[in-house]
Amino acid sequence: MSKALIQDSNVKALVKKCAIELGFDVVGITTSDSLLGPAKVTIERLRNGLMAGLPWYTEARVIRGSIPRHLLEGARSIIALGMSYLTEGSAEVPRGNIGGKVARYAWGKDYHKVIKQRMKELVILLEERLEHTVKARFYVDDGPMLDRSVAERAGIGWFGKNTNILTASHGSWLFLGQIITDLILEPDKHSKKSCGECTRCIPACPTGAIVAPYVLDNSKCISYLTIENKGPIPLEMRKQMLDWVFGCDICQEVCPVNRKANYSKDSIFKRGGFKTIDLIELLCMTEEEFTDRFKGSALRRAKRIGLQRNACVALGNIKDVKSVPALIKTLLHSDSLVRGHAAWALGQMGDKVSKDALELAISKEDDNWVREEIELALSGTT
C-alpha cells in the first residue's frame, strides 16, 4: 500500500470520527465525480410531470447539482452525512382536543440550521486536527445537490421504493447533508442492500403518490399538498389526506426496515411540542400568534394560511361536530383559500347547523371559487 493511500485512509478515518463526535449518525464518502445517471432519470421525471408544482425545480438546477465540481472549485470528495430524527412516541391527539398530525421531522427544531451548523463545525474541527485549510461547501436539501443519489453512492444506504434513502441502522428517519470538499478521500462502496420483493409502501399511500417502485408523483404526495402547494387542495385528494396537516409519514411507518431503526441520540430533536396541532386553535390564530407559536419550527414553511387550509381538510375528515362552530366562523376568514376549504369541511359534517351556515354564507360570498366550493358542499357531491 502506498504512503499516499495510507495517509488518505487516516484522513478518511478522522473525518468519520469527527462527524460521529459532532452527533452525526451515519457517514459515507464518495468522489466529486458527476452524477449524470441520476440527473438523467430526474430530468425524465420532470418532463413527465412527476415534479409538478415545484417551479423552482428545473432541468438547469438538476444539471448544476449533478456536477459537484461546478459547485466547488477544486472539489475532490463529498462527505455524505445522516442525522436521525427518530424519537420515541407517536402523534397521539391529547384527550379532549381535535388534532392534526405532523410529520416526525417537524416535531422539533427546524433541522436546516442545526445540520448546516454541525457541518460547519465538522470542517472547522478537521482544519484544527489536519492543521490546514479545508475548502468546503454545504448542502441540506436547500440547494441543487442530488442528495439521495450522493448518499447512495457514498454507501450510506439504498433507495427505497418509497424514494427515501434507507439505512440498516436508522431506517429512513434521517436528515441528509453533504459537504463538498477539496480533501482527497478514499470513497466508500455502494450498499448492496435493497427492498427486495417488499412493496408495502406502495398500497399504503392513501393518495397513490407512489405510482411505481422508486417513482413518486409529487403532485399526489401529502407532503407536497400540505407544504409546497399554495393553492387549493384538489377535491379528489382531500379525503385521502386524512388528518395530516404538515407532511406525512405513512410510507415510512409501514416500512419493515424502520421497525428496528435506532432512535436519535441528539436531544435537540426531542424538544418541541408539534407531534400534533390543535386544529381549532390553529383556525383561530392571527399572524402574530402563528409567528410566535411556530418560531424556529419547520412548520412555518407552510405559512399560516396554508396550515389553516390544511386544518379545514383534516376537520372535514375527522367529522367531529365540536369543530362546527369554529368552521362556521372560518367562513368569514379574510383569505378565500381558507374560506373555501372551511365550506368543504362543513359539507362533510352533514348536519343542519352546517348546512344553514353554508346557505347563509353563499348569499354573502363574492368570490367565485368560494361560491363554487359552497355549492358543492351544499349539494353533497364532495
Cell numbers at residue 57, please? Answer: 425545480
141 is catalytic: yes
If we measure between CA atoms, which residue out of 358, 317, 323 comes closest to residue 339?
358
H/E stretch holding 289 reads: helix 287-293
Please pick, among 8, 33, 141, 335, the residue that the annotation labels catalytic.
141
Round to whole Å and give the CA distance between 291 and 289: 5
Residues 6 or more apart from 362 whose CB is under 8 A from it? 371, 374, 375, 378
Residues 6 or more apart from 286 whose CB is under 8 A from it? none
Classify residue 347 as exposed, middle or buried by CB count within 10 Å of its CB (0-12, 13-18, 19+): buried
SS3 label, residue 77:
strand
If we measure between CA atoms, which residue out of 324, 363, 361 comes closest to residue 340?
361
If we measure between CA atoms, which residue out of 11, 24, 7 comes closest to residue 121?
24
234, amino acid identity: P
Classify residue 367 as exposed, middle or buried by CB count within 10 Å of its CB (0-12, 13-18, 19+): middle
Region of 282 please: left (phi>0), alpha (psi -120 to 50) or beta. Answer: alpha
Cell numbers at residue 265, please? Answer: 441520540
H/E stretch holding 174 reads: strand 174-181
If we measure between CA atoms, which residue out of 382, 102, 120 comes closest to residue 238?
382
Round to whole Å and give the CA distance between 154 and 67: 15
> Which residues participate in catalysis according to the annotation?
141
